[in-house]
Each structure stands twice: as C-alpha cells, then as structure tokens.
Amino acid sequence: MFVKVCGLSTPESVQEAVDSGADAVGFVLTASPREVTPEQVHVLLPLVPEGVHAVGVFRHETAADAVAIARKAGLTWVQLHGHRTADDVKTVHDAGMRLIRAATMGASVEEFGDLGEDLFLIDAAAPGSGEAWDYESVQEKGLDDRKWLLAGGLEPGNVAFAATAAGAWGVDVSSGVEASRGVKDLAKIRAFVEAAKA
C-alpha cells in the first residue's frame, strides 16, 4: 500500500512520516491552514530521503504557476486539485516533473478519465472536511488498472477498511493525523502508516 502523508510543515512531522515508512510527503503551497512557503520546504527537504516522493500541493494555481512554485521549493512532484486538462498534465511533464491529479467524488465523468498523470487521487465530495464517506462507491469509477490514491476522512482507525472497500492502490492523509487543524500529531502519523501498510 502506497502511503502519502500530506500537509506537513515541521521537521518533526516530516521525520515521523519518513521514519514510519511513508512513500510520499506533501507540502501545501496554496492557501490553507497547512500552507507553507517554498523557503520552508527548502529547509524540510533534506529530511526526505531518496525514494520518498516530496510533493507540492496546489489548488487554484495554473499548472505553469504550480510548476514555477514547485521548482522554487526544490520539488519534482506536483499535485493539482480542481478541474484540469491534458494540457495541464503536459505542462507539468514538459517541466520534467511528475504529477498527481486530484478529483473529487462529485466531479464529472470526464475528470475520472486518464489524462496521462503519474498518479490519480480521489478525494471526498467535500475535500478537507475530514469526514468519512462511502468509500465502496469508488469501485463504480472503473479504476482497477490505474495507480490511484484514496483520500478524504481517512484516519488510523478506518484506513484499512476504506482502502479495501475502495480497492485503492494507495492512500493520502492530512486532517486524519492532526491534533488540531494544521497541527500534526506524531503518534497518529505513525499509527496511520502502520495501519495502512498492515
């Protein structure tokens, strides 16, 4: 099970995610309670070893702006939320970067098509709410042969059930491993990764 821990902002949280066995860590470079600056990411990146993907997360930015900010932060992976096109995917790839394209469960059928992204992410219909939802309903989207991540409402106690119900290739967590909004709980990070990997 591929595990991404997102919304990290401190050396302690990055170190815990890495030590626990996370495959990817996410840095939010867009307006959010978890937002960090490219300069902050630069300080945290040395804690991320080779083999663990460091991802810059964007919501309203254009693909070109996301690439520019990610480059400034020293990142080679970009995660784009919102309605995106094949041209957006090409923009990221032409910059020599890899892409996680995110869509919500409430998105149009077209948005679940393969646009050539490296990984696809499916979030709850209300992203960031931290609320669990009908994970089994993802199976209707026909994603069996693609690498995709499940997100939204996941926490240590339900990640194994949710990933199995959805048939997910991987999982992504942020609010489910927090002590309060934007503040990560190190014990929850470890428990989440262990539960997902088990």
Q: What is the mean pLDDT of each run of 10 residues along the chain (198 residues)?
A: 98 98 98 96 98 97 98 98 96 98 92 96 81 90 90 97 96 96 97 97
Here the tokens at position 69 are: 């900010």
Specify whether the CB–CB gap between 151 and 171 falls below 8 A.
yes
* Full-model pTM: 0.96
Here the tokens at position 43 are: 């300080």
- What residues have CB less than 8 Å from 143, skipping those under 6 apart? 112, 120, 122, 167
